[in-house]
Structure 1
Amino acid sequence: MTGVQDRFSLSGRIAVVTGASRGLGVTLCDVLSAAGADIVAVARDEALLEDVAHTVTARGRRCVAVAADLLDSAAAEIVMTRARDEIGIPTILVNNAGMSIPKTLAEQSVEEWDAILALNLRTPWLMARAMAPGMIAQGGGKIVNISSMASKVALTEHGAYVASKAGLNGLTKVMTAEWGPHNIQANAVCPTVVWTPMGERVWGVGDKLARFLEKIPAGRVATPEEVADLVLYLASPASGMINGQEIFVDGGYTAL
């Protein structure tokens, strides 16, 4: 049996993190690189990606910063080409990129609906499809899809977002069924509100957050580190028998 540090180590592994330049994505890159992973950081903002790269390299790890618009269906293959040519074949994928445009079902435009579904649901499929052959060739891999507590519960003014995250959970199970025999574990992490700039923008209006916290037994929202630490576990050898699961980081909200 290997030691605890070895079971949770990502040394020698390469992780692709989408939505890497802001909020949770920055913390994910920091935590995974601290555990020993080299990082392929993907986001639209090239300047912010440079900051992420500095954080990763300061930990002694390599980082490839890929500025790409993941709404473009060709972006996933571009990311994989850059990774393969500059750093090697990744065996960890964290599908973190996502968006929400809070509006009622009646107010949401078709264009907004399509963009939310494209980034939150289509992109994880495209990224996984692009990376799976390399994972299989390397003997296995890890896919962690950042879903949401909203995949299980109704959330007003978030119809497209809820639909996309429920779909992502279903997609995760199909990834498990098709790629599990190749030693690829795919899991969905389902946080409550995470206090990032995006979370603050959506929930920091009036008494919206206070009313929401009344439904959470823990009485607070999640920190980026609490989510990233779970992702680290799911990306590590320690989680080899965890596959196809929806893991909620919600302070007990969905237990009630």
Structure 2
Amino acid sequence: MGTKDAAALHTILCSLLLLSLSCGCLAAESEGAQTALLEVDTSWKAARKIPQTLFGLFFEEINHAGAGGLWAELVSNRGFEAGGPYTPSNIDPWSIIGDESSIYVKTERASCFSRNMVALRMEILCAKCPAGGVGIYNPGFWGMNIEEGKSYNLVMYIRSLESVELTASLTCSDGLQNIAAAVIVDTNVSDWRKIQMQLLAKVTCRTSRLELTTSKRGVIWIDQVSLIPSDTYK
């Protein structure tokens, strides 16, 4: 392409750009000059009678409107089946407390619930575990809102071929401040056993988490972990 052709092409492109900008400005001015008027008639004459058969409330299950919202359950993915009915399943948002030398966690189709067969298998490898033990924790739906003076009903199913010494505790999100704790000591858990207890909060923490820890070597299966405020409306 020669110099003259290049100059001509440059002139054409600049002209088109200026024309485009001018049209955009005119359109914006035209739109800005328009005025919209919305009239709402709130008189009884405009009202429609609501049928007796119409009741309820619509909501869409996004951003935890149901689970973590209307449903008072504080534990997210309580059955370790976020990844579906097969293993390995997704245990998110559960996380592990301890390193690979002290604990090994996986999912197995070993639950006592025939319709929800996935359970968590937690193998404690350390003979001398770190202070506070090793285990798992659940932050709930972006943090559990635990309030001072209130009690929380903890329910879960556990199984082990040996005796169990498992601590269930509520801590702030960093795991350092203890809000409530209870120890599960049981020698008869060779078959699945339902554990129920109450945790009484000593302080308030808006971003709490539930921890299940132990310092006893062995294998524990855990499933269907639930934490619900005692004052929940039913």
TM range (shorter): under 0.3
Higher CA-based Rg: 2
Greater helix percent: which structure? 1
If the length of structure 2 is used for normalisation, what is the TM-score? 0.28
Task: Tell which has more relative contact order, 1 or 2 (C-alpha 8 A, sep 6+).
Answer: 2
